Amino acid sequence: MDALVFGPVPSRRFGSSLGVNPVPFKTCNYSCVYCQLGSSTSLRTERREYYPTSQVVEEIRAALEANNGHVDFVTFMGEGEPTLASNLGDMMRGVSEFWEGGISLITNGSLFSRPEVRVDAMAFDVISPTVSAGDEVTFRRLHRPHRKFTFSRTLEGLVDLRRTFQGEIWAEVMLVRGINDSQQSLDNIRDAIRLIGADRTYITVPTRPPADGRISAPEPEVLRRALDSLPGAVDMTGPEAGTFEARSGDPIDHLLAIVANHPLREDQVVGILSSRYSERDVADVVKMLVDEKKLERKQYGRTFFYISPPAVGC
């Protein structure tokens, strides 16, 4: 069964963030080359209710109670594109009845051309869309979207969202070497962000095993040029910091729920399990989880990560 709520996890944007999965694994309309969850084999375009609103809301309530005082944001994101959940707005409004902290949405931004999606998004405090392309060719190379989705339509939707949305829009720019890191690409991205009227811009690069193992981060001098080209952009290209420690419940369940959404470095896995197990036992637990095919060890660059093995049929 999918983990509907995971974490909290340390986020450079949202502090201690409790993640929410409103859609099942790889329910998405993109198959981005950099996706840390692997390629999408069956792209979705229509919205539907995947999980009952009451179930998701109650799991969020329970997680907030278990982590009392240790959550800054409830973040709808998860294992696919969250706006494909037709009851997204109902979930968010249900959480706001008992949660006074921040509520955020991480999205590829593709569905805001639909009025009902913009209505669902109105009550979020922060919406963080991907704005990693500023032209059609780059958009298709980077995101490999369903044919129904185009750069121009996505941009128009985000501009329409800005006209009515009273919260903040934090644009995320994922830079990939040889795809969107030329000066022309950076200029196009800058122009798109200006049209959207984003309140903040964050620059990221592939730091975890991507769907296409051939891609990599731009060279350091290109990243410096990107920061100069996108005024006010925040550099999020370094390794993430912060603890993933489980504050309640079984650390193995906590680990597997996070890894389903967020590949973890080897040291992060050890940190989670060390809350209950000795150093020797941690190694045995990790081996057991790998043998049972609940974890998979994968190298990206010079770093080893643990990810969820691909599910049969995904």
What is the span of the domain harbouring residue 302?
244-314
Same domain, 266 and 121: no
Whether residue 281 sits in one domain with residue 236: no
| Residue ending a domain, choose from 242, 271, 301 | 242
Instruction: Verify that 102 and 88 share a domain, yes or no.
Output: yes
Per-residue pLDDT of the chain (314 residues; tens, 9 = 90+): 467 998 888 888 999 999 999 999 889 999 999 988 877 777 988 999 999 999 999 999 999 998 887 899 999 997 889 999 999 999 999 999 999 999 999 999 999 999 999 999 999 999 999 999 999 999 999 999 999 999 999 999 999 999 999 999 999 999 999 999 999 999 999 999 999 999 999 999 998 888 888 899 999 999 999 999 998 999 998 776 666 766 657 889 888 888 877 788 888 888 889 888 888 899 899 999 999 988 888 888 788 888 887 654 43
256 in the same domain as 203: no
Question: Domain end: 222, 242, 262, which one?
Answer: 242
Whether residue 134 is found in the same domain as residue 207: yes
Based on the fold, state whether residues 281 and 143 are members of the same structural domain: no
Q: How far apart are the first and last CA of the chain?
A: 14
Same domain? 200 vs 260: no
DSSP string, 82-93: GGGBTTHHHHHH
**Are 199 and 304 contained in the same domain?**
no
284: phi then psi, degrees, rounded to nearest 5: -65, -40
What is the model's pTM? Answer: 0.88
C-alpha 237/C-alpha 176 separation (Å) is: 12
User: What CATH number did the domain enclosing 256 receive?
Assistant: 1.10.10
CATH of the domain at 198: 3.20.20.70
Sheet containing strand 264-265, strands side by side: 264-265, 303-307, 296-300
Q: Please state, in angstroms and rounded to a whole number, the distance separating the CA atoms of residues 189 and 180.
A: 9
Indicate if 127 and 260 belong to the same structural domain. no
Task: Note the pLDDT of residue 238.
Answer: 78
Q: What is the pLDDT of residue 248?
A: 59
Which of 184, 209, 242 is the endpoint of a domain? Answer: 242
Q: What share of the chain is helix, strand, coil (3-state, %, to 5)?
A: 35, 20, 45
| 270 and 202 fall within a common domain | no
pLDDT score of 83: 97
143 in the same domain as 55: yes
Q: How many structural domains does the chain have?
A: 2
Question: Tokens for 191?
Answer: 């122009």
Angstrom distances, CA of residue 312 to CA of 25, 33, 45, 289: 12, 21, 22, 17
Considering the domain architecture, whether residues 303 and 248 belong to the same structural domain is answered as yes
Residue 126: per-residue pLDDT: 98
